Chain A
Amino acid sequence: MEGLFFNIDNGYIEGLVRGYKNTLLTSSQYVNLTQCDTLEDIKLQLGATEYSSVLSDINETLSTSLIERKLNNKLIEEFTYIKSQSNSTLTKFLEFMKYGYMIDNILLIISGTIHNRDKSEILKKCNALGWFETLPTLTIATDLTSLYETVLIDTPLAKYFQSCLSIDDLDDLNIEIIRNILYKEYLEDFNNFAKNELPTPSNEIMERIINFEADKRSINISINSLDTELSTEDKLKMLPNIGLLSSNENIKHQLASITDLENLQVLISSIGIYKDIFNESTANSNDENGKSLEDFFYEYEMRLNKDAFTQQFTFSTVWAYIKSKEQEIRNITWICECIAQNQRDKINNYISVY
């Protein structure tokens, strides 16, 4: 039944995104890219893809950062177009997608405010995907209180701030902690939205993806905070209440309280899908060529995204496409970097699923 009405509002978008999806680089194209000797060759190879339009007008000398910037422009262009074509629930869904990037942008500006940086400089560094109309006004505020009371309150993210942070926290807490608390709130909210407002099967797919995202953050936070003096309470504040690792209050608490890597690994491995994560990854050793934890996560995420395309009449295809595209840009940047920095032995560390 859902297919009947889905296309009235969202048929075009889905068609569009599936069209976009076909332009994602395939594994054979990646192989071609890894054979390149210079960035010029890469440009030539990419000329045969959708990226030709953004790369063709480069006149300056090629550099990795330049290529990355151009590819990102393409992504933003597409996202903006999709968003402008969307309505009602899909618009809301896309807004939620943006919130993640907005958190980063807002924190960028907050830290800029604390250190009295040139605001226009900071604005340039903001992620365009997380751009919102009131973002520039954030830069008007000169101190944290006014930033919070007059500007932040009006942004879509205000609810996250309100529920968990006071104005004093903004001053005292490390910016990274704030970021993770906000992100936790965001993920929970997003999950709520996906569960209650998205039609099936979008909600199932999105829940899966969001829960994985939550787990990913939980694992990362607990591992990366091993060497810091963060207390268990601090950590608990940052760990999302969703995801497999948080389904059981006990596990979550352990995650926050364990202080050595080994026990943490045992704990995480006890969860079914993460059983092999530490066997495959070499996060604990310094083996340079092994897969890192991030590689594992990226790969798993990409598998989820790929699966998302198997369902029809879903909003999650948009999510899957945007995330796949992001990964693709990371892959290309990685390959460019390997070529530019002469580190060819690691060039195959990209993640390709299509």
Chain B
Amino acid sequence: MSGAANREQVFPTRMTLGVMKGKLKGAQTGHSLLKRKSEALTKRFRDITKRIDDAKRKMGRVMQTAAFSLAEVSYATGGNIGFQVQESISNNARFKVKARQENVSGVYLPQFEADINESINDFKMTGLGRGGQQVQRAREVYSKAVETLVDLASLQTAFVILDDVIKVTNRRVNAIEHVIIPRTENTISYINSELDELDREEFYRLKKVQEKKQIAVAAADAEAKAKKLKAEKERLEALESKKAQLEAAKENGENVKEEIKETEEAKAGVVEESVVEEEKEEEEEQSGDLVAQTEDDVIF
């Protein structure tokens, strides 16, 4: 179940990771929706099956009554009217059905409705000489019976369609639950591990680069310091020699004393300056580290 065996073939990039995360989210939403749909349909389905059972039994009785009304007809007419009835059929049925759609959780269930065209009566003349009333009554009884049959047919069609839809829905629910979601999750963890690996490499590389840089910087610093120190030294020496000259001349006058003092002060100022510069450089290095750290934060 792990890793390479069950995942999608993707490049482990940040973008695909985003896509995969979206996909997982979609799959989870879809799963819960479908699950709910399936539950709603199943509820309806159970309801329908129960009603089919009742309706079928009822139909048995209704048809018996209807058959009996036909018996009354043959009793009254003293013969079988079947043939006459068959021969008087016209080219337009009186009893038709209309299909209405009912929406149950996005499934369209046809609902048949009796559509009787009262103006059509092919049997007005049937039984004119005898039994006409019985014929008309049988006609009504049978119309009622057929209406029951139409209701039953609606239920039955709903049953067949729902049966089908529920099967499909359940198949989808299971597919999402047991195939798509695990696979997406696997893909995501694969991409994550791959990205981690890349990050670690990157981090290591950065560290390495920084190290090299630091060494180079340190070397450059040392050189610059050495140069500075040398220059200072030379200056000091120059000042020293100047001082010696002045001391020698001290004896010559009071003014010289003051000049010495000045030189001393300048000397101290130069030393101070160089120290401040060093501190500044150190501060710059620290801020560079911070930038690297924030970059790391972004990565993880």
Contacts and interface: CB of A to CB of B under 8 A. Distances in A.
A and B touch in the complex (CB under 8 A): yes
Interface of A: 64, 104, 108, 111-112, 114-115, 117, 122, 125, 127, 174-177, 179-180, 183, 216-217, 220-221, 223-225, 227-228, 238, 283, 286, 292-294, 297, 326, 330, 333-334, 337-338, 341-343
B204 interface: no
Contacts of B126: 176
B71 A341 contact: yes
A292 B133 contact: yes
A122 B83 CA distance: 9
B128 A225 contact: yes
A220 B132 contact: yes
Contact of A111 (B76, B84, B128, B133): B84
A30 B76 CA distance: 19
Contacts of B130: 216-217, 220, 294, 297
Contact of A115 (B64, B79, B87, B137): B87
Interface residues of B, number: 27
Contact of A228 (B64, B124, B129, B137): B124
A111 B83 contact: yes
B133 A341 contact: no
B128 A343 contact: no
B237 to A, nearest CB: 139
Nearest to B123: A176
A294 B129 contact: no
A39 to B, nearest CB: 14
Contacts of B64: 341-343
Contact of B134 (A227, A294, A337): A294
B127 interface: yes
A297 B128 CA distance: 15
A172 B130 CA distance: 22
A227 B126 CA distance: 12
Given A337-B75, A338-B68, 10 more contacts: A104-B79, A112-B87, A115-B87, A122-B83, A175-B87, A183-B129, A223-B133, A337-B68, A341-B71, A343-B68
Contact of B132 (A114, A224, A343): A224
9 smallest beta-carbon distances between A and B, as pairs: A224-B132, A176-B125, A337-B71, A294-B76, A341-B68, A111-B87, A228-B124, A176-B128, A174-B125
12 contacts: A104-B79, A115-B87, A127-B79, A221-B128, A228-B125, A283-B133, A294-B75, A297-B130, A337-B71, A337-B75, A338-B68, A341-B64
Interface of B: 64-65, 67-68, 71, 74-76, 78-80, 83-84, 87-88, 124-134, 137
A177 B74 contact: no
A108 B86 CA distance: 11
Contacts of B78: 326, 330
A179 B133 contact: no
Contacts of B67: 341
A286 B132 CA distance: 14
A97 B124 CA distance: 28
B83 A125 contact: yes
Contact of A334 (B71, B129, B132, B134): B71
A64 B68 CA distance: 11
Contacts of A343: 64-65, 68
Contact of B75 (A183, A221, A333): A333
B65 A217 contact: no
Nearest to B71: A337
A59 B80 CA distance: 24
B83 A108 contact: yes
B76 A292 contact: yes
A283 B72 CA distance: 14
Contacts of B84: 111, 175-176
Contacts of A342: 64
A333 B74 contact: yes
B133 A221 contact: no
A334 B133 CA distance: 17
B72 to A, nearest CB: 8
Contact of A64 (B71, B88, B125): B71
B73 to A, nearest CB: 10
Contacts of A115: 87
Nearest to B140: A286
